[in-house]
Structure 1
Amino acid sequence: MPDTTVYHLNLENRSARISPLWFGHNLEHTRSCVWQGISAQLLRNRKFHGIPQRNGVASGWYPIGPEQTHFALEERNAYTRRFDPQSWRRRKETLCQRICSVSDGMPCGIGQSGLPVVGGRGYEVRVALRSDRNVAATIQLAAGGKSLVGCKESVDVGASDWREFTFSWEVPQHHSEVELEVQFDRAAKFYVGSVSLLPADNFHGLRSDVVDLLREIGCPVLRWPGGNFAGDYRWQDGLLPVDRRSPLAAHMQIETLGHTGGYDCHEIGTDEFIALCRTIDAEPYLTINPTWEGPELAAAWVEYCNGSADTKWGSLRAGRGHAEPYGVKYWSLGNEFGQSHMEGPSAPSDYARHLRPHAEAMKAVDASIELVASGDWRGDEWYTDCLTDLGDVMDHVSHHHYTGGESPAHMEDYVGAGALEDFRAVATTATCVILPELMRVHDKLRVHEPAGRRIGITFDEWNVWHAWYRVPGVVEGIHHASMLNMLCREADQLGLSIGCFFEPVNEGAILVEPDRAYLPAAGKVFSLFKAHQGNTRLELGPQQPQADVDATASLDEQTGQVVLTAVNRDPQERRRIRLILPDNRWEAGGTLFSSENFLPASDFKESGVVFEACEEGLELELPPHSIARITASSSDF
């Protein structure tokens, strides 16, 4: 008979509220989170950034025309631009594709292949073109060398400035790979500035199905644009029309934007991000770029988001159709300063000296905002130096932890004795490693924070290490369930203001394919745990960090429903739990997530919880590496 763990669901043992902000997420422009993730854009390198191929054609595109056709990327006549032409920049961001044809009657141009389209679905095409003389241009979707029915347009491109064209097409049938081509057939210098291909049902340029899944997993706070990418972001450029925004080159090209050649096409600006937050009911949490943008620009961003319509930047927002302020409360003063991958001041005292003018200017615009200092808070000098110098204007410190990165637990083996040991280490990291780590941060803050100040912790990046380079499975699901249980139980005592998983889209919780998006095991865990958000925690008594069964209970004060989430962190053995209910008038039900194994790509099977009546209450059995969410309610509440 498996060991039995007993939980008393006593409504008298009420504790603190479980803040929804502990269940937050990140949306950073990294790897495949935006491109082939939340962005609905189908085209690669649609603004022609970076180093061209050896034939002069932008990466991701192919040439059309005889071998005498000359292709080059050109900056002088670029269609994309920056909000401030004098702002800081990196190389090869603002370019256009030039095509020089030497004779009439020979089709020339560029195309992109491998584009998936769905039959019966509408698509929106936008293209910006110019030429040194009057030419007729053709834009089409083709498959097998033939245009798709209803997916071809001819336009006149005059000898003038850029001309913008928009078409609406309906694809007649499904194709896993089609080509989009732009052609002309006169001797001319012809320029392509940007091209866009979007499903017509996009949400501000984002995939509607991915947006729906963000809502499904529960996203009470969303941090953007980074993370590391915050150090590459120019917020003012996001005020330009999306097709005219200059791409953004990454300082850490291989790590941050390795899936897009080191560049981001800037599909998401402030307005699009806020629209996303509004539709998924998320609190926006913004990270400034203090290395490259000074106090004035940081304050201007606050005023754009929070200023009234009679302020300079607030009036610009209102003129763009957003009369009411966005009310962004949380702002991070950069990301992970003091670590080698971030540009800017690395010493704590230098960080404090550099960031104080930013903090003061931002709070002068809106004194109600809360600022997060993001450094390497594992080092004592960040408390003794930075906190002393900056603690009067900052409200929180940022803390990050990646299991298998900062801690040794990671999955090297998936079979044999080594796999069982690795699984246990990963499954218990939240309680054995991260909880003590957060306690140390909390204790140091209490010692070094200025008198009269209470500095909080934003645990705004956590995940398993290299979740972005692996196929997720049940291991990640159990790890995340244990983490969320721990946060529900401990975050209040730790002074945790915010918790943000890094990051859901294509890095663990939401997987995106050309024709679908879905929740793997880890994403299902977030959806399961939504039931705790905003509830009052119920004390269950002491729980050992290495215990096989890990649990949290809460009470919905409005409905009287009790929620208990229990995780069996044992990779081999079943475990039993006994629930002692307030009285025999309570009824219980539940959902069980179980799986046959914890190999990569393993998933949870959902079923109902099977209870066994006992003298004191109810008992149930948890299979190895499984999760149960149990709800209990009484009509007498």
Structure 2
Amino acid sequence: MLLPLVTREMGALPSTKGGPLTQDEIWSGEILVTDTVIVPEGVTLTIGPGTMVRFRHYRGYQEGKVGLIVQGGTIKAIGGPTEQIWFTSDAPDPINGDWGGITLVNTEDSEFDYVIVEYAEIGIEQFASGADVSNSIIRWNNSEGLYAELSSAVFQNNTIYANAYHAIALENYNEDIRIIGNLILGDGHQSVHLEASQALIEGNYFKNFDVSRASPEKVISLMFNSQATVRSNKFEMYGGDEPFYVEPGSTLVAEDNDFGDGHISPPEFDYEDVKITELGYLPGSPEDQYLYVFDEEDETRRVVGRYGAGLGLGWTLAYADGGVWRFTAGDAFVRIDPVTGIDYSQEYANPDHIAARGLAYDGEYFWVQDHIRRQIIKFTLGTGGGYPDVGSGNPIEIVAAFDHPEAVEGGSAGIATDGEYLYIPSEIKPNTLLKLDKQGNVVDEIHFEAPSGPTITWDGTHFWTGGGNVIQKWTPDGKLVGMIYAPAVETWDMAWGDGYLWTINRTCEEWNDAKVFQVEVLNDSIEPTPLTVTIDADQIGEPISPYLYGAFIEHQGRCIYDGIWAEMLQDRKFYYPVNYYFPWGEKKHKSPWRANEFDTVVMMDTEHSYVGEHTPRIDLDGQKPRGIVQEGLGLRQGEEYEGYVVLSGSGSISVEVSLVWGPGPEDRQTVTIDGLGDEYTRRPFHFTAGADTDDGRLEIIGRGEGAFYIGTASLMPADNINGMRADTIALLKGIGFTVYRWPGGLFVNDYDWRQAIGDRDLRPPRLNRAYWSEDVESNDFGLDEFMALCEEVGAEPYVVVSSSGPDDDIMAAEEVEYLNGSTDTPMGALRAANGHPEPYNVRFWGIGNEMWFVPLEDYIEQHNRIAEAMWAVDPSIKLVAVGGVGFEGLPGDGDWAEGMLTYCADYMNLISEHIYGGSSPGLIEHADSIASIVRGLVEAHREYRERLESLQDKDIRLAFDEWNYSWEDRHEIYGEAGPRYYFKDALGIAQGLHEMFRNSDMVFMANIHPVNVHGQIKTTKTDAAIEATGLVLGLYRHHFGTLPVAVGSDTEPLDVVAAWNEEHSALTVAVVNPTEEEHTITLALEGAVLTDAGQMWVIAHSDPMVYNEPGQPPRVVIEEIPLDAVSNELNVPPLSISLHELPAR
């Protein structure tokens, strides 16, 4: 069997996403969004054809829902007729409203083509944007399918049906919307609805619409001075013959439509209405499973009354004179009595058609925001009569009006009054409340310290704002001091009166019938409640494997070279030709060397090459010194540097090698080399830098008459340890990784280990094409160097072999023999000849890396053949196979991991899974990102164990041999895939470890990236520093116990684990606090008694975005604190990882 060598493009694999994007991204394959993704200004998110984007579903009301927000950036979701892009729920049984939907704000060039949007709160909504939607399916969403404000867009050739609200809603000043050639199915409430907007509606097929009086709306409805041209559409209706509702002041022009005569054909699409799952009811129907109304009572509030059935939609509420008042959908204003209910004798007409959004009462007058007029209106209850259609016979009377103080178009919401002043949320300044006098002048601004909702009221001492599923309490100067949960979805307005909070919410008992809730506040405190944590010290789990503290190093970016390896020269074997003009005008990744003068010619000689394809030759004419230079070297004053150059030459010449740290003639040291001959010779040199610089240079310059060749050169700090950076090695030792995985990673798929053994100078250079940078791979760091690293840091090696080529079984077997064979074997003898006669006895071996690009039916045979060949050489080795929960497996027979466990279980000892957590703006969600993936993978493998016959007599455990937060949504500060990690990431690394500890019977190994590439250690040219994430690993490695015990109670929002130490003399309790509040934990110990005070180690910082960086004092550190007394109470600082060692028996 032949397997082609395939290089996977980054982004082509499933990954977890969440939080703001910091650079352009390309998504493809399977994507799981665990927290809302934000695409900010200047960033483009491109989603490729066939991508499946699943959003974490949530059906409660005490957390926010996950979505996708384009905030000034750009999204390009371009699929194809048979490769549609899916935006859907991750639930196996999805329902409407499982996730938040897609929101676009201030984006002009975003585009959706051949996409499917389903099971969201809203399909695609846009504000001040111009995002076209075409050839797409929009269905089963909990409100509108497509929604727009202040936008101009084309909606064309889409299929839209079974959304809870309008199929398409255009509200608030859309000037140029074109609705063309769509199929809109009329079951439910699927109309096209316009408010203060303009649209062309042409060539659509409106199918199966109920236009009877009982129907919520007609097929097309226009309100608030809207204008629409309705041309050449096909209508299929029942229950009547009028498809349009046009409010006075709006204009609808109908031209050449088909109301049943058949002269217009339905639109035809080149895509199919494909479905993976199907919603079994219409959203908004009695069968709707969405949680519209929340618990009647929870820990924060109790609902004591519900009022207002039959009043229709409404976005306003005020308390006045012992009752609540609201506008109705019937253009009236009515009082609700808390005892008797709706009081139609106090119903007033609204002859001026105030489009009310937000209402307040100052003791004498009502104040309302009119979101169409963009005015704040002062009114009172009229007495003039003349309106027999309302119970009072009277209208409301406008007393005064003034324009909204912010000159923006679009909807507004929320108004409050303390009797003297008015307060309205700003629409252009986030989390800002405008304080107005009653003439409309802004007299002050109140800045809320946290995000606030759009609706607002005043209780006499505090502001209350509503947004999402929470209602927040604020001091007059904007401090957040309280919070309760809303009684139902979509709090449209609020009022205080008679000691109660009154809210108006959408309930969906009828699609358009909002209800008023009377709410008693029980506990609005945001202070953390004391936690009691039960620990059963007698319930001991499987010992925690020491290999959970493993590392993974790979030839990518600056992990090996510029990270671990001490070589300072780039391309020291001259893979690229050398010329004068680099870097001026040359493309990246060309030679870092340049000729010393513009007229110096460097010939790349292939006849007298020392290593690789060619070697630089410099001809000297006795007139000018000529040679080559490499710049950009990092030097530190007083530091010593050593190296050598391999030279040959002819004629009367000398070569000067100089280390230069400044512009003056004294800012250099020079070694002169004479006596060159035809044979290459290695000439050493030693320098001491005279100043600090990041732009030092090495010059190799010839003088005289003749020619010389530069075979290779090397320069390292003199304190290097067997060629490795002393500062990096010291930090690696400090963390204490127990096992190192190498050489990849994708790098292994194109790696021939035989090219990286023997004399380092003679190992041929090549391009590293595993990733996109295509750096020069010098082969300086090979098998023997890797073994030297493991020996130096006191860790076991874990070697991965290639499994992508036809002869990889032979190459893998020879590699096992080289490392583990006796000197009587050919490869063992070669190892001895290279300086290491004793076998290395490597135990852990991986076969392949992320091989999901190969059909599994082919790969099974390849894996088994390689395993047989390796075990034939050394049957004692432990083999790790490529897993892949959720990746494509055998046709109709489960995923990749299941296929490997079914057909390769006899050819593995461990199975790998890879974890890359996504970023999230919320600290609790961000800290849980990795842990949640661990939980999912462990669950899947537990299920395999129960179900698969091939596993019944086996204990194949997991190796998470790549895990970390992803680099893809971060800047690559430290080279390719080298992002900065923050303190908030340290919280997540700790929680990831906790989840592995809880599953110690399943997880045997975990390998996190140690240096630069996803690294826990970051380096510059001259310095190294340990990230906050690396501190976590070192803390647990050295101080957490090995015998996990049961933690039985709910510890949210904290994450708590506990373990006996190996001697069974102390309990270790680790706590991650991802909140900004201090907590106190009371330990309820079972099976153990504390015997001494103990100590604790804490990693904490008030800023979740703080970080450590090379060359600067650390801002995140481990603090060791002796405990004063024996106590079952643990104090947990805000934003912290704390590890408590408590002597016990």
Contact 2:978 2:1012 in 1 (8 A): no
Q: Does 1:337 align with 2:851?
A: yes
Aligned residue in 2 for 1:269: 782
Deviation, structure 1 residue 305: 0.8
1:569-580 equivalent positions in 2, closer than 5 A: 569-570=1074-1075, 572-580=1076-1084
Contact 1:304 1:313 in 2 (8 A): yes
Deviation, structure 1 residue 165: 1.5
Q: Using the alignment, how far apart are the partners of 1:120 and 1:54 within structure 2?
A: 31
Q: Using the alignment, how far apart are the partners of 1:223 and 1:426 within structure 2?
A: 27
1:31-180 equivalent positions in 2, closer than 5 A: 31-50=557-576, 55=581, 59-65=591-597, 67=599, 69-81=600-612, 94-101=613-620, 103-131=621-649, 133=651, 135-142=653-660, 143-146=662-665, 151-158=670-677, 160-180=678-698
Q: Using the alignment, how far apart are the partners of 1:21 and 1:288 within structure 2?
A: 20
Q: Using the alignment, how far apart are the partners of 2:627 and 2:991 within structure 1?
A: 55
Distance 1:365 1:446, change over 3 A: farther
Deviation, structure 1 residue 233: 2.2
Deviation, structure 1 residue 378: 2.3
1:352-367 equivalent positions in 2, closer than 5 A: 352-367=860-875
Q: Using the alignment, how far apart are the partners of 2:1129 and 2:900 within structure 1?
A: 52
Q: Does 1:235 align with 2:753?
A: yes
Contact 1:395 1:456 in 2 (8 A): yes
Contact 2:551 2:1009 in 1 (8 A): yes
Give CA deviations for 1:441-470 in whole Å, capped at 9, x if unaligned. 342255343553332221100111107343
Farther off after superposition, 464-473 or 176-185: 464-473
Which one of 777, 784, 797 corresponds to residue 284 of structure 1? 797
1:396-545 equivalent positions in 2, closer than 5 A: 396-404=910-918, 410-411=919-920, 419=921, 421=922, 423-448=923-948, 449=950, 452-466=953-967, 468-492=977-1001, 495-505=1002-1012, 507-531=1014-1038, 535-543=1042-1050
AA at the equivalent of 1:594: A
AA at the equivalent of 1:480: I
SS at match of 2:863: helix
Bigger helix fraction: 1
Distance 1:230 1:138, change over 3 A: same
Q: Using the alignment, how far apart are the partners of 1:267 and 1:284 within structure 2?
A: 18
Deviation, structure 1 residue 542: 4.9
Contact 1:128 1:193 in 2 (8 A): yes
Bigger strand fraction: 2
Aligned residue in 2 for 1:370: 878
Which consecutive residues of structure 1, in runs of 5 or more, have no partner in the other structure?
82-93, 340-345, 405-409, 412-418
AA at the equivalent of 1:391: A
Contact 1:232 1:248 in 2 (8 A): no
Deviation, structure 1 residue 483: 0.7
Aligned residue in 2 for 1:85: none
Q: Using the alignment, how far apart are the partners of 1:270 and 1:520 within structure 2?
A: 28
Which consecutive residues of structure 2, in runs of 5 or more, have no partner in the other structure?
1-526, 584-589, 888-893, 971-976, 1109-1114
Deviation, structure 1 residue 384: 5.2
Aligned residue in 2 for 1:604: 1116
Query: How many correspondences in the alignment?
Result: 588
SS at match of 2:538: coil
Distance 1:145 1:228, change over 3 A: farther
Q: Does 1:382 align with 2:896?
A: yes
Farther off after superposition, 307-316 or 195-204: 307-316
Deviation, structure 1 residue 508: 3.4
Give CA deviations for 1:168-203 in whole Å, capped at 9, x if unaligned. 333355444322111113454432221110112211
Give CA deviations for 1:107-159 in whole Å, capped at 9, x if unaligned. 1100112222233333221111233555321111123253656542323321x
Q: Using the alignment, how far apart are the partners of 2:562 and 2:951 within structure 1?
A: 46
Q: Using the alignment, how far apart are the partners of 1:438 and 1:14 within structure 2?
A: 19
Deviation, structure 1 residue 555: 1.4
Contact 2:738 2:794 in 1 (8 A): yes
Give CA deviations for 1:532-567 in whole Å, capped at 9, x if unaligned. 5672112222557xx211122111232612211110
Q: Using the alignment, how far apart are the partners of 2:796 and 2:809 within structure 1?
A: 24
Aligned residue in 2 for 1:28: 554
Aligned residue in 2 for 1:550: 1055
Distance 1:539 1:110, change over 3 A: same
Contact 1:122 1:170 in 2 (8 A): yes
Contact 1:539 1:553 in 2 (8 A): yes
AA at the equivalent of 2:617: R
AA at the equivalent of 1:301: E
Distance 1:154 1:145, change over 3 A: farther
Q: Using the alignment, how far apart are the partners of 1:44 and 1:475 within structure 2?
A: 35
AA at the equivalent of 2:882: S
Q: Does 1:629 align with 2:1143?
A: no
SS at match of 1:523: helix
Farther off after superposition, 624-633 or 376-385: 376-385
SS at match of 1:99: strand
Q: Using the alignment, how far apart are the partners of 1:629 and 1:394 within structure 2?
A: 36
Deviation, structure 1 residue 430: 3.4
Q: Using the alignment, how far apart are the partners of 1:469 and 1:612 within structure 2?
A: 42
Give CA deviations for 1:9-58 in whole Å, capped at 9, x if unaligned. 55423222111101111111111112221111111221222465684896
Deviation, structure 1 residue 619: 2.1
Q: Using the alignment, how far apart are the partners of 1:275 and 1:465 within structure 2?
A: 29
Contact 2:580 2:594 in 1 (8 A): no
Deviation, structure 1 residue 600: 5.1
Contact 2:1093 2:1123 in 1 (8 A): no
Distance 1:75 1:388, change over 3 A: farther
Q: Looking at both structures, which has the greater relative contact order when contacts are Cα pairs under 8 Å and sequence separation is at least 6?
A: 1
AA at the equivalent of 2:937: E
Q: Using the alignment, how far apart are the partners of 1:395 and 1:606 within structure 2?
A: 37
Give CA deviations for 1:63-117 in whole Å, capped at 9, x if unaligned. 11451x3224455543225xxxxxxxxxxxx44323344x223111001122222
Q: Using the alignment, how far apart are the partners of 1:46 and 1:446 within structure 2?
A: 55
Percent identity, aligned pairs only, is: 28
TM-score normalised by structure 2 residue count:
0.49
Deviation, structure 1 residue 264: 2.0
Q: Using the alignment, how far apart are the partners of 1:317 and 1:126 within structure 2?
A: 25
Q: Using the alignment, how far apart are the partners of 1:253 and 1:182 within structure 2?
A: 32
Distance 1:111 1:319, change over 3 A: same
Contact 2:882 2:912 in 1 (8 A): yes
Deviation, structure 1 residue 477: 0.6
Distance 1:10 1:376, change over 3 A: closer
Farther off after superposition, 467-476 or 198-207: 467-476
Deviation, structure 1 residue 526: 0.9
Distance 1:279 1:446, change over 3 A: farther
Q: Using the alignment, how far apart are the partners of 2:846 and 2:680 within structure 1?
A: 38
Q: Using the alignment, how far apart are the partners of 1:276 and 1:504 within structure 2?
A: 13
Q: Using the alignment, how far apart are the partners of 1:355 and 1:147 within structure 2?
A: 61
Contact 2:645 2:713 in 1 (8 A): yes
AA at the equivalent of 1:522: T
Aligned residue in 2 for 1:185: 703
Farther off after superposition, 16-25 or 188-197: 188-197
Q: Using the alignment, how far apart are the partners of 2:1118 and 2:1009 within structure 1?
A: 25
Let me know the Cα RMSD of the aligned residues. 2.7
Contact 1:65 1:106 in 2 (8 A): no
